[in-house]
Each structure stands twice: as C-alpha cells, then as structure tokens.
Amino acid sequence: MAFKLFDYQSSGKGVSKSAPQKKPFFKYWEIFGRKFWKLIELNMLYVLFCIPIITFGPATAALTHVMRKFILEQPCFVFDEFFTAFKKNFKQSVFIGIVDVIMIVSVWIACFQFLMNESLPDGSLVFICIMICCATLVFIMHFYIYLEIVALNLSIGSILKNAVFLVFLGVKRNFIALIINLAIISLIVLFLPFSVFAVIFLPLSLMCFTTTFICYPVIQKYIVNPYYEERGERNPELGPITEEDIAENAVFVDRGGSEKEIKAAPKAHGKVIK
C-alpha cells in the first residue's frame, strides 16, 4: 500500500505494540532479510579490521555489538556503532583476542602434526579425545564471551566464569549454534581455496549474527534479567508487555507536567552466576 502524506481516510489497525512476538525461526529470517546488505558490509569491515592480528578481539567485539543491536531490533548506525564499540571494548577484547589467536595457531599446528604422523603412539587416542572436548568447550564459551564484553560491565574473570556456566545452562541453544557454526566452517574448508573470496563477504558476519540470535537470550535469562529483578525493575531490552507498560512508554501521552528528562539506558552491570 502506497503511503499518502495528506490522506484523511480512516486508517487501518496497524501493528499493535502488544501483538504477540513472532516465532524465533520466522523472526530470524525476517531480521536477516532486512539486514542482509548490512551483514555483507559488516563482514567486509570485520575482515579489514582483523588484518592486523592484534585487533582481532576488538573487531570481534565490535561486530558482536552491532549484531546484538540487530537481534534486539534497536536503532543502529552500523559504522558509527562498530567504531564506537571497537574503541569502548578495546581493553578487554584485545586480551581475549590475543589468547584466541594463540589458541587457534596452536590447534592448527597440532592438527597439522597429527595428520603428518603415519602412526599414533599408545594413549594418544585418549589425549586426542580430551583435547577435542576442551576445544569444544572453549569454542562454545566464545558464544558468550564477546556478548558479555559488549553487554555487561564485568571483569574478565567474571566474564569467563559466566561463560563456563552458560555452556551448561544453555545446552539446547548451544548445540544448535555449534552445529550451524561447524557447518559454515566445514563448507569454507571444503571449498578452499575458492571459498576465500566468499569469506570476505558474508560467512563471518553470518556466524556472528546467528550465534548472537541464538545465544543472547541465554544471557538475558540468567544474567541480565536477574540483575534488574533484584532491583525491582524490568529489563528494558524486553520491551513493553502489558497495557500499563505500553501506556508508560507511549510517545504521545499527556503527562500533565510530570515529564522527566530522558536519559540513555546505561550498560547493564549484570551478575556473576553462582
């Protein structure tokens, strides 16, 4: 339906603020469709900022910050948000990023040496199984580490501690995110060297978007929501759900002179899972 600036006919029902939320599957594809070209832009920006190895962590935090904005459907100026988050979270994310690069290189060397050996020494199978389990645990922890960095005010120790707990608290979601991430990585490896060109445009931002969409609700459930509940408040990320909430958050409501200064919502402090 075309929009008419001076159309005085009776309007339709429109979209109710209290309308039920879409199912996650449909919501995912709706947001993905709206943000498709932005994902391509972000993927290219991310690759560019990862070229200096030391900026891998801050670039990942910046990408994660924008993806969180996307899945929360908050207003977002992509480049401004990316650069702001890159600088704001640099200190914590650069440390995590350096550790990540060291671990990735170590795993790559270990896999190369494993493939070069024609025979395995005794007991190596058990060691390999332990290493795979540890690598999987650390990989899933990263579904949450960068999200905690950009969403919460916590120390590195608390972030890592929470990430370990969230691995086990969000088993179902973590499994889905793990399968999707491994599928994308497998396709990239399978089609090397041709996939190198594709990596520049979409897979990395797609992985981050999908992981954020699947896993951020776990952080909300176990960290962010309890933080606000302890203070008798409601997590503002969830939006209004009752008629009273809608009336309270309505834009054009006669406050009778009771208006207050509008301030930006602070970054949630979060909590450490015990």
What's the CA gap between 216 and 235, in Å, rounded? 14
Close Cβ partners of 35 (under 8 Å, ≥ 6 residues apart): 70, 209
Residue 36: what pLDDT? 96
Percent of residues, the chain, with pLDDT higher than 90: 55
What's the CA gap between 237 and 150, in Å, rounded? 14
Angle at 79 (CA atoms; ends 32, 181), nearest 5 degrees? 40
What is the maximum alpha-carbon separation in the chain? 83
Are the C-beta atoms of residues 174 and 140 closer than 8 Å to each other?
A: yes
Residue 263 CA from chain centroid, whole number = 25
Report the chain's mean pLDDT, rounded to a whole number: 82
pLDDT at 52 over 60: yes
3-state SS, one letter per residue, for 16-35? CCCCCCCCHHHHHHHHHHHH
User: In the numeric block, which tokens belong to residue 55?
Assistant: 């900026």
DSSP E strands, 152-250: none
201-227, pLDDT tens digit by residue?
A: 999 999 999 999 999 999 999 999 998
* Residue found under tokens 């390999």: 128
Residue 259: what pLDDT? 43
Long-range contacts of 30-38 (CB under 8 A, 24+ apart): 31/70, 31/71, 31/73, 31/213, 32/209, 35/70, 35/209, 38/70, 38/78
pLDDT at 61 over 50: yes
3-state SS, one letter per residue, for 222-235? HHHHHHHHCCCCCC
pLDDT band at 240 (very low <50, low <70, confident <90, very high): low
What's the CA gap between 36 and 20, in Å, rounded? 25
User: In the numeric block, which tokens belong to residue 167?
Assistant: 């691995």
User: In the numeric block, which tokens belong to residue 210?
Assistant: 């999908």
pTM of the model: 0.80
More confident residue, 249 or 88: 88
What are the structural domain ranges in the chain?
A: 24-238
136-190, pLDDT tens digit by residue?
A: 999 999 999 999 999 999 999 999 999 999 999 999 999 999 999 999 999 998 9
pLDDT at 133 over 80: yes
